[in-house]
Chains A and B, each alone.
Chain A
Amino acid sequence: MSTKKITVTINGETHSAEVEPRLLLVHFIRENLSLTGTHIGCDTSNCGACTVLLDGRSVKSCTLLAVQANGKNIVTIEGMAKGTELHPLQEGFKEEHGLQCGFCTPGMIMRAADLLAHNPNPTEDEIRWGISGNLCRCTGYNNIVKAIQYAAEKIRDTGSDSIPFTTHTAETTA
């Protein structure tokens, strides 16, 4: 079985690698790139702990092959803060106590980033349906909803981007 060369842009940096086609995107992110903020929870596309942004849309990276991300732009939780300045979603989760153990949090934040990019002013119901593919076993979700509302308000007030690095695109390889 032959390997494939892939080139992806992750959090604004371009990476090339020779990978086995069966390598999952989440393993590529965690093991090849040592970006361990993206978690593996259920490993069956149920829980959403592995959620990252692929060309600006939330995806479950346990159910994508790394080769499917070739030429694409990925943002992980490590790409959300600007230096020491938290992203409004990170700040919201902190201020509203949107986490306890924190395992689901990176996936929740990446999913919420897609939600707010496409619906900057969601109702509570839209937020709850919007995160319906992300499981939290600690909070009971109420504070997660509040955290996303906090971020939505801050993003609207400050005019900041819900998703960083959206202008970058990866060089495609033949």
Chain B
Amino acid sequence: MIPQAFDYESPATVGEAIALLQRFGSDAKILSGGHSLIPMMKLRLATPERIIDISGIKGLDYIREVDGFLKIGALAKEAALEESDIIARKYPLLLDAAKMIADPSVRNRATVGGNLAHGDAANDHPAVMLAYRAEIVATGPKGQRNIPIDEFFLGFFMTALEPDEILTEIRIPIPPAGSGGAYKKMERKVGDYATAATAVQLTVDGSGICQQIGIGLTNVSAAPMRAQRSEDALRGRKLSDELIKQAAIMAGQDCDPNPDLRGSIEYKRSVVKTLTERAIKAAIERAMNA
């Protein structure tokens, strides 16, 4: 399979990349790791006139804690998440997800920024970033703006990025003491999209009361979704098995999956319920042991 012919640009700076976007508009497509875009181009589901390859831009692949945030540069690779000490120590939800994205060779190329900018609810980072209440930094001709994650995913493969903007950074608030997270994913085989997955990030105080919780769901809605009712059922409450079960049932009810080769609607709702219960319990255990 061979992509339709296109012109290729490899800007050295974010400024050059934005200038190219301004010049070529919607005929151009940003390429970073290329592991979502190139398969679509080979299948001719995407036929851009011009590719702007940002992977050569230096200094955009950092992972560091600064000013109250874990800041991840747009070009940080999934493999770098897996190999990061800071993520191994403090961001178990992110580590869980990174280990289950595609396969090791794909993770050597695929980027966190690309996974989010693609806007696909079947990708794993959207649910993870919803759970973390992350912010997306977009850079355009007028400079940078921060987009709360709840305002980033607008619909099926649609994000809040303007045609002349590039996703340049992801900001995760540094979790306070007593925090834990987990990603539970069911996939038919390595490399397939999730049948469903649940991302949970929570903070529990000394008496077992849930101070804050974020729950994101993967591949069970047109746009990446937050399990809002489940979060509200747990926030401010003392966590018990019964309450967790109720919240998990709500997540199964509130998601909106499509039937496909991975299962029927009823099956996927049941998977979401089970994974949500497991993810919440795993997150609590990690919060207690943090």
A interface residues with partner B (beta carbon < 8 Å): 1-2, 4, 20-22, 24, 43-46, 48, 51, 54, 57-60, 63-65, 67-68, 70, 111, 114-115, 118, 129-130, 132-134
Contact = CB atoms under 8 A, between A and B. Distances in A.
B35 A63 contact: yes
B104 interface: yes
Interface stretch (B2-10, B127-135, B215-223, B271-279): B2-10
B111 to A, nearest CB: 13
A54 B276 CA distance: 38
A133 B38 contact: no
Interface size bucket, B side?
A: 20 to 34
Interface of B: 1-8, 10, 31, 34-35, 38-39, 41-42, 51, 53, 55, 79, 83, 102-106, 108-109, 190-191
B38 A63 contact: yes
Given A21-B51, A43-B1, A43-B42, A59 B105 contact: yes
User: Would you list the 10 A-B pairs with minimal beta carbon distance, nearest first?
Assistant: A133-B103, A21-B8, A132-B190, A57-B108, A1-B5, A58-B105, A22-B3, A133-B105, A63-B38, A60-B105
Contacts of B5: 1, 20-22
A67 B50 CA distance: 13
A65 B39 CA distance: 11
B190 A133 contact: yes
A132 B39 contact: no
Contacts of A59: 105, 108-109
24 contacts: A43-B1, A43-B42, A45-B191, A48-B103, A51-B105, A58-B104, A59-B108, A63-B42, A63-B109, A64-B34, A64-B109, A65-B8, A65-B34, A65-B38, A65-B51, A67-B10, A68-B53, A68-B55, A111-B105, A115-B104, A129-B104, A132-B103, A133-B190, A134-B103
B76 to A, nearest CB: 14
Contacts of A64: 34, 38, 109
Contact of A63 (B4, B6, B8, B34): B34
Contacts of A22: 2-6, 41
A64 B53 CA distance: 12
A115 B51 CA distance: 31
Contact of A67 (B42, B53, B104): B53
A20 B3 CA distance: 11
Contact of B7 (A21, A46, A68, A133): A21
Contacts of A111: 104-105
Contacts of B53: 67-68
Given A45-B39, A68-B34, A133-B191, A60 B7 contact: no
Nearest to A2: B7
Contacts of A54: 108
Nearest to A47: B191
A101 B129 CA distance: 44
Given A63-B38, A65-B38, A4 B8 contact: yes
Contacts of B104: 58, 111, 114-115, 129-130, 132-133
B108 A44 contact: no
Name, among A51, A59, A63, A65, the residue most crowded by chain B CB atoms within 10 Å (CB to CB): A63
Contacts of B190: 132-133
